[in-house]
Amino acid sequence: MVVNEVVLLRAGVYRDSVTLMRVSRALGELQGVGDAMAAMATPSNRELLAELGFAVPAGATPADLVVALRARDGDALDGARAAVDGLLAERPPDPASEVEPPPLTTASAAARGDATVALVSVPGPHVVPEAMDALAAGLNVMIFSDNVPVEQEVALKDAAARRGLIVMGPDCGTAVVGGVGLGFANVVRPGPVGVVAASGTGAQQVMCLLEEAGVGVRHVLGVGGRDLSPRVSGRSALAALAALDADPGTELIVLVSKPPAPRVAALVREAARRLDTPVVPAFPGGDDDLTGAVERVLRALGRAVPEWPRWDAPRGRAAGGSPHGSPHGALRGLFAGGTLRDEAEAIAATALGDLAAGGHRLVDFGDDVYTRGRAHPMIDPALRLAALAREAADPGCGVLLLDVVLGHGADPDPAAALAPALAGALDARGDLAAVVSLCGTPGDPQDRDRQAAALRDAGAAVFASNAEAARHAAALVKGARDA
């Protein structure tokens, strides 16, 4: 039997994860190509290639680039191989199109204009010199990169404090500064609320629910998921709270974070108490959730709390086809947002008890371990789609719970890949149910309502509130008749 597949190794060649995702898609769209993946040879990418049936060269390291191809015949494979180098080629700028040579450093770029913020998105080990360069140039810094050691984060934030600046991040995926979205940001109206967020998707959930209620956002200052940890001790959160308090256009501040370290929580709460601007904490976990925090914000502003949008699963899917509302199997959560996962896990644990003992598990595919050398799952769905297929094939899985996060920077049409995968899984198993938490606004480029309709038509129950989605999924597991 002729095997029309190949794994190409480009030793010492680096391309960023978004570029590699685009190359993978372009190769996969070539006629006759079945599987195509271009990636850095990190352990997680090697595992994914192995699951696809490819053998990565034994000597490949995370500093090497691999391209795996499988085609229906030799001609299609040859055509794909011939396209690889062209797709991977870095095109230098056309000198004729440049008025002046591009700046070579952050400091030289800052000297050319009146920028106040530098966005750093380079591999984690190379963040410090770029961020320090920006701070030295008098710029606040948003660090989109992850995999930055915590001691380097502390050093950067201390350097920023000495200059009266703020470091947003590392691993800051979302910010809005003066109405301009940076990173993964949703389309929302301007308004009186400021957000300090040690959580990107947590901030997005708050922004989207406020938008649904007709309340706009003035600034969202992301501070990185570790900022309220004992090691970092709220360095950027404290600076961001002070900055928003000094802004006359901010009437109320929402502080969003995964449950912070108790000592740091006390420190931040005391700092918030001394501000002139009221602060509403949003720390999902235990009895609290992000939706409840937004409802408290609305009441504080004298606004009505709306019914949060939901799109019910087609008739016969609401109970996953399970007869007489009998209990489902285990809950399996496949998340792109860490805080959304944590919130769902806390809600599920309250409803279902010991999750591990019941075979329930919720995974954050945006965690650093899954994003080394590949794009975030809000951009590249490959890892989650593979996990969805595995979970759906597991007879112990009864309910799939997923988040879909929209906005600038995210997958331009997540339902295009996710809806067929969900429909196939649900059609194959009449006892399986799917629930989707859809974080987005009608103004997002993906069109929230169109995404919701596609996911609903695939058989999923869809909720704008992540907390409501998690409660619905837990109720399905328990076999509640009124879920």
C-alpha angle 384/385/386, rounded to 5°?
90
* Cβ neighbours of 247 (radius 10 Å): 13
Contacts 24+ apart (CB under 8 A), 25-29: 26/83, 26/87, 27/67, 27/69, 27/80, 27/83, 27/84, 27/87
Q: Where would I find the H helices in 163-314? A: 200-212, 235-245, 262-273, 290-300
Rounded to an integer, what is the distance from CA 450 to the centroid of its chain?
20
Domains within the chain, CATH numbers bracketed? 5-88 (3.30.70), 109-300 (3.40.50.261), 310-478 (3.40.50.261)
Query: What is the residue-level pLDDT of the chain in tens, covering all 483 positions?
Result: 446 889 999 998 888 777 888 888 889 889 989 888 898 888 878 888 888 889 888 888 888 999 999 999 989 899 999 999 888 886 555 555 556 777 878 878 888 888 899 999 888 888 999 999 999 999 999 998 888 999 999 999 999 999 999 999 998 989 999 888 998 999 999 999 999 999 899 999 999 999 999 999 999 999 999 999 999 999 999 999 999 999 999 999 999 998 889 999 999 999 999 999 999 999 887 778 999 999 999 999 999 999 999 999 987 654 443 433 334 689 999 999 999 999 999 999 999 999 999 999 999 998 877 777 677 888 888 889 999 999 999 999 999 999 999 999 899 999 999 999 999 999 999 999 999 999 999 999 999 999 999 999 999 999 999 999 999 999 999 884 344
Cα separation, 180 vs 165, whole angstroms: 19
